[in-house]
Amino acid sequence: MNVLKKDPDWWRGAVIYQIYPRSYQDSNGDGVGDLLGIVRRLPHIASLGADAIWISPFFTSPMKDFGYDVSDYCDVDPMFGSMADFDQVIATAHALGLKVMIDLVLSHTSDQHSWFKESRASRDNDKADWYVWADPKPDGTPPNNWLSIFGGSGWQWDARREQYYLHNFLVSQPDLNFHCPAVQQELLNVAQFWLERGVDGFRLDTINFYMHDKALRDNPALPVEERNDSTAPKVNPYNHQRHIYDKNHPQNVEFLRKLRTLMNGYNAAAVGEVGDSQRGLEILGEYTSGRDKMQMSYAFEFLSGHAPLSAAFFKEVFDKVAAVAADGWACWAYSNHDVERHVSRWDLSPAASRLYTTLMMCLRGSVCLYQGEELGLPEAEITFEDLQDPYGKEFWPEFKGRDGCRTPMVWEKDGVYGGFSPAKPWLPVSSAQLNLAVDVAENDPAALLHHYRRAIAFRRNHKALRDGLMTEVRAQDGLLIFMRQSEDETILCFFNLSDQPITTTVPAGNWLTIAGELGSIQPAPDHSLHLGPWQPSILLLDRG
């Protein structure tokens, strides 16, 4: 066993940088990013001060969902390179002090996976029950009312078995049957394969989708007033159900315990994606409580919504975390490969972007950053003719899909295709992003890139921010206030999350102003604090 010598709690408070490999850097001139392109750009990530990278899927795949439809879990798709290239990613990242997390898609496979090809061949083969199969109702319709998050029924008829199979996503992504012990064991074998290869952990796609109700009961309707579009676009009827039988199964936790036991032998860590519009934080708490399940999970509280996050909303979220996930551990993100970039989603000014970055680095939990957010990249405009995402094609134009956040990384303002590739990229390079390219930002002291570096360094330098308690969360109009505490530090945070000046009072105590490099200001001698729009004040209690 290749046991890694590292702190088993390295993940706690870590800053994890997400790489969408198709769009990060092309090394061989085919217009698609690849593993050697990642190797080339790892110094950029290390320069941010990140602790780890998360690489979206690079496994063998027909690419109907761009790698989230896996046809071989234990090999690299030729589009991205070879296993030797992946070994180079590991070696280079580790030499730079970066942990490597890879995206495991365990809830479903591609319909081109050998497991599914065998399973669908008959009802009595060795893998007949490796996927979720069900007979039709007497009238030939699907066995229940479960829906696909990509639109339409969650069931697809298969003429070979004369049965339906479940697909929570694309028709070409059949769901694995986690009630089958052999499936669980084989997926644990997959995880061990990559742990032996040297990975430091996993991002677990749709972690709450693994297991379904064996009785196949219908989901109840969700009242209109309870619907929201945090995990599926508003126009998707998926939002019309309370998803209590097609996901969120209580026995799912038992599989997570098995996976944690395996990871413990390698001091590896995982962050799970919880996709649920009603119970996301509750499930986060359930899946990360104690030390026998997943280390971290994220829900969609900060990944959705088209208005900037208010002080009142932050308080609401952290009050809920305290109520349902006090023993858990969140991993917060504003952007990722599935949602509109937050600079555009919230229409942020440069000052607001800097403040939200500083705030993120002061929250209790770990942090995921998405490639390009350190540059302040806005969402790219994609025409229907250039669209690649099947999700966007299904719901266009009310929902334009996920391609706008997946366009190629811009490295050089005047380089061919922004320095991403010498060939025409798989998605167009956004002209609106070129002025924010890395080479421009590096030479502009006021660029957001440098603020990210300072904010990450500030977090790293204070144990109270990395893994301390978060208490006394308050919201006063546009002002968010909270305390971060460890054994050695007490830090008091004020954030003006508005475009208006705010005056408040600092409690008595010997407070030292810190984070001046992040715009933090000092209280007046009378303990009053006058915060300008989008301005923080971060204070350290002097215990001497």
Question: Tell me: the pLDDT tens digits for 96-120?
Answer: 999 999 999 999 999 999 999 999 9
CB-based burial label for 271 (10 Å; 0-12, 13-18, 19+): buried
Q: Are residues 473 and 450 in the same domain?
A: no
4, pLDDT greater than 70? no
d(C-alpha 263, C-alpha 172), whole Å: 30
Supply the residues annotated as catalytic. 205, 273
- CA–CA dist 483, 491 (Å, integer): 6
Give which of 309, 295, 382 is closest to 345, Cα–Cα.
309
CATH of the domain at 505: 2.60.40.1180
Are 440 and 514 contained in the same domain?
Answer: no
**Does a structural domain hold residue 367?**
yes
Q: Does residue 2 register a pLDDT over 60?
A: no
**In this structure, are 405 and 514 located in the same domain?**
no
pLDDT of residue 88: 98
Q: Among 2-11, 103-112, 124-133, 412-421, where is mean pLDDT lowest?
A: 2-11
**Sequence-distant contacts of 239-245: CB under 8 A, at least 24 apart:** 239/277, 241/145, 241/146, 241/147, 242/278, 243/219, 243/276, 244/219, 244/220, 245/144, 245/146, 245/212, 245/213, 245/215, 245/216, 245/217, 245/218, 245/219
Q: How confident is the model at residue 349 (pLDDT cuts 50, 70, 90)?
A: very high
In the three-class reduction of DSSP (H, G, I as helix; E, B as strand; rest coil), residue 464 is classed as helix
**C-beta separation of 436 from 464 below 8 A:** no
Same domain, 368 and 480: no
CB 305 within 8 A of CB 273: no
Residue 166 lies in a domain: no
Q: Is pLDDT above 50 for 134?
A: yes
Angstrom distance (rounded) from CA 85 to CA 87: 5
Is the pLDDT at 447 greater than 80, yes or no? yes
Question: Mean pLDDT throughout 420-448?
Answer: 97
Count up the domains in the chain and report the number.
2
Mean pLDDT of 517-523: 97
- 300 and 344, same domain (yes or no): yes
Helices first, then strands: H and E counts in the chain:
14, 20
Final residue before a domain boundary, out of 434, 459, 484: 459
Same domain, 429 and 535: no
Token look-up 């009072």 returns 505
Convert the pLDDT of each residue in 205-238 to its tens digit. 999 999 999 999 999 999 999 998 888 888 999 9
CATH of the domain at 357: 3.20.20.80
Whether residue 4 is contained in a domain is answered as: no
Q: Which domain holds residue 334?
A: 15-109+180-459
Residues 241-260, mean pLDDT to the nearest whole number? 97
Mean pLDDT confidence for 318-347: 97
Q: Does residue 45 register a pLDDT over 80?
A: yes
Residue 482 and residue 338 share a domain: no
Q: Could you tell me the pLDDT band of residue 5, with boundaries at 50, 70 and 90?
A: low
Q: Identify the pLDDT of residue 94.
A: 98
Rounded to a whole number, what is the distance in angstroms from the first to the last CA of the chain?
Answer: 48
* DSSP classification of residue 123: S
Q: What is the dihedral of CA 436, 440, 446, 447, to 10 degrees?
A: 40
Do 474 and 409 fall within a single domain? no
176 φ, ψ to 5°? -70, 150
pLDDT at 203 over 80: yes
Distance between CA atoms of residues 484 and 461, nearest Å: 14
Tokens for 386, please give them. 């250039």
Q: Which of 263, 115, 268, 283 is nearest to 209 (CA)?
A: 283
For residue 471, give the amino acid letter.
T
Place of tokens 């349902």: 324
Neighbours of 327 (CB within 10 A): 11
CB-based contacts of 488: which residues, under 8 Å, 6+ apart?
Answer: 463, 464
